[in-house]
């Protein structure tokens, strides 16, 4: 072999090795992209930030274990500003990027338009803070799932808790005429009806407040006159905080029961310790009160990164939406939406921060329990013990 031929052979071998090395590096850095649609701006920007942080921590834990199908998870975020119009725009943005799996979103009325778009484009979407029954019952969405429970589960729990644990005879139910609050209130009335018919319970108040008001003295005066044993508030934390603060300042001592959107750091900050102590709140499993290894691992990682716990249960359900998608992709052996959706419905051993991640044919989470929590005299949330 002459020198010229030898030199050319050497160059070809060197270039082949170089390109092979580059290809290998590309394979190592290839990721599975999963979208996160969240309210990073708008009235519930705090919820969106908690969700983003929780999902990122969950992704870091998955990636530290080797990722999914040998690839690292990459989160692609879109802001929906917690309103239906921007929700549709956020969904279109993620769809346009070719994503096949998405975590979306907070709020039932915000989730619905996005879920329709994802379904029409065969994108698997997993809601994390959307509890309206209609999302899975009014229409078939074969690519839609949710890690949170449904409103009717919470309402049924409230009725049993109020009548059998609190022994309430006179109940006030207050909502805000929005999808979420009105839905919980209506379902509560439906489950209370047998108690009303038998004369065991009287609903002395069932009405809506106007969100965003700064003075609720009129409705508080009305409640004082009606003297309910239990006051069930079914809307969001901002109004709950103002109502409870003003009620306690006005001398209303009725037992306050907030629904699962209320107990957050924002609620605590607005209302203050004196107002919230003794108030009871219904919620799905909160990880700080669970003893699953996955709960401890997630909370330790979150605390190490942010020096606090997630401010909302919905943020944790966003992280569990990622855990569910990761398990389904692994089970399917693919990110193909049809295979992943089928895997979501047929998983039997997937586990998350809040327990088993199992879903019905319609996409609802199976067997999710409810608990009652109470703020103690120091303003710290703990499990209700009945004391």
CATH number of the domain residue 306 falls in: 3.40.50.2300
Q: Please determine, for residue 14, whether its predicted confidence score (pLDDT) is greater than 70.
A: no
- Co-location of 159 and 273 in the same domain: yes
What is the Cα–Cα distance from 30 to 314, expressed in whole angstroms? Answer: 30
Mean pLDDT in residue range 251-260: 96
In the prediction, which pLDDT does 247 show? Answer: 98
* List of residues 6+ apart from 168 with CB closer than 8 A: 162, 201, 228, 229, 230, 255
- Co-location of 186 and 255 in the same domain: yes
Q: For the CA atoms of the chain, what is the radius of gyration?
A: 25
- Co-location of 47 and 128 in the same domain: yes
What is the Cα–Cα distance from 142 to 130, expressed in whole angstroms? Answer: 17
- Greatest alpha-carbon span in the chain: 107
- Co-location of 202 and 129 in the same domain: no
- Co-location of 119 and 205 in the same domain: no
- Co-location of 193 and 182 in the same domain: yes
Mean pLDDT, rounded, of the chain: 91
Helix, strand, coil % in the chain, rounded to nearest 5: 50, 20, 35
- Give the residue, 9 or 359, on which the prediction is more confident: 359
In a domain, residue 376? The reply is no
What is the Cα–Cα distance from 294 to 300, expressed in whole angstroms? Answer: 10
In the prediction, which pLDDT does 285 show? Answer: 82
- Co-location of 261 and 294 in the same domain: no
Question: Inter-axis angle of helices 217-226 and 237-249, to 10 degrees?
Answer: 60
Tell me the per-residue pLDDT of 55-89, one tens digit each, with 9 for 90 and over.
Answer: 999 999 999 999 999 999 999 999 999 999 999 99
Residue 247, burial from CB neighbour count under 10 angstroms (0-12, 13-18, 19+): buried
In a domain, residue 9? The reply is no
- Co-location of 250 and 309 in the same domain: no
Number of independent structural domains in the chain: 2
Q: Which of 257, 283, 309 is the last residue of a domain?
A: 283
The reply to whether the predicted model has a pTM over 0.85 is no
Please answer whether residues 180 and 204 qualify as being in contact, where contact means their C-beta atoms are separated by less than 8 angstroms.
no
In the prediction, which pLDDT does 290 show? Answer: 87
- Co-location of 222 and 327 in the same domain: no
In a domain, residue 24? The reply is no
What is the Cα–Cα distance from 194 to 170, expressed in whole angstroms? Answer: 14
In a domain, residue 311? The reply is yes
Tell me the per-residue pLDDT of 204-236, one tens digit each, with 9 for 90 and over.
Answer: 999 999 999 999 999 999 999 999 999 999 999
Q: Residue 219 sits in which domain range?
A: 152-283
Tell me the per-residue pLDDT of 87-140, one tens digit each, with 9 for 90 and over.
Answer: 999 999 999 999 999 999 998 989 999 999 999 999 999 999 999 889 999 889
């Amino acid at each position: 072999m002459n020198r010229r031929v030898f030199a050319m052979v050497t160059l070809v071998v060197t270039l082949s090795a170089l390109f092979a090395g580059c290809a290998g590096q590309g394979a190592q850095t290839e990721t599975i992209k999963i979208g996160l649609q969240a309210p990073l701006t708008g009235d519930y920007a705090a919820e969106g930030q908690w969700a983003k942080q929780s999902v990122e921590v969950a992704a870091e834990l998955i990636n530290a274990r080797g990722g999914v199908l040998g690839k690292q998870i990459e989160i692609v975020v879109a802001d929906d500003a917690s309103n239906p119009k921007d929700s549709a725009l956020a969904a279109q943005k993620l769809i346009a990027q070719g994503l096949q799996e998405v975590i979306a979103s907070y709020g039932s009325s915000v989730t619905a338009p996005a879920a329709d778009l994802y379904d029409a484009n065969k994108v698997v979407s997993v809601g994390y803070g959307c509890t309206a029954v209609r999302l899975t019952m009014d229409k078939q969405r074969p690519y839609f799932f949710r890690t949170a429970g449904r409103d009717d589960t919470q309402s049924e729990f409230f009725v049993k808790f109020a009548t059998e644990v609190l022994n309430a005879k006179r109940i006030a139910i207050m909502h805000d005429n929005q999808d979420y609050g009105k839905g919980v209130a209506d379902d509560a009335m439906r489950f209370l009806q047998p108690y009303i018919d038998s004369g065991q319970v009287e609903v002395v108040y069932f009405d809506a407040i106007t969100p965003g008001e700064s003075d609720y003295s009129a409705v508080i005066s009305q409640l004082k006159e009606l003297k309910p044993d239990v006051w069930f508030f079914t809307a969001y934390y901002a109004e709950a905080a103002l109502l409870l603060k003003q009620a306690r300042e006005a001398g209303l001592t009725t037992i306050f029961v907030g629904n699962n959107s209320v107990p957050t750091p924002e609620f605590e900050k607005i209302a203050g310790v004196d107002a919230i102590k003794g108030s009871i709140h219904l919620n799905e499993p909160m990880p700080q009160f669970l003893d699953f290894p996955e709960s401890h691992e997630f909370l330790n990682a979150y605390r190490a990164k942010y020096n606090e716990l997630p401010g909302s249960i919905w943020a944790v359900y966003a992280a569990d939406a990622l855990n569910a998608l990761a398990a389904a992709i692994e089970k399917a052996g693919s990110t193909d939406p049809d295979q992943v959706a089928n895997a979501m419905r047929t998983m039997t051993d997937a586990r998350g921060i809040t327990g088993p991640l199992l879903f019905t044919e319609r996409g609802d989470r199976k067997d999710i329990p409810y608990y009652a929590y109470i703020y103690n005299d120091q303003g710290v949330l703990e499990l209700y013990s009945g004391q």
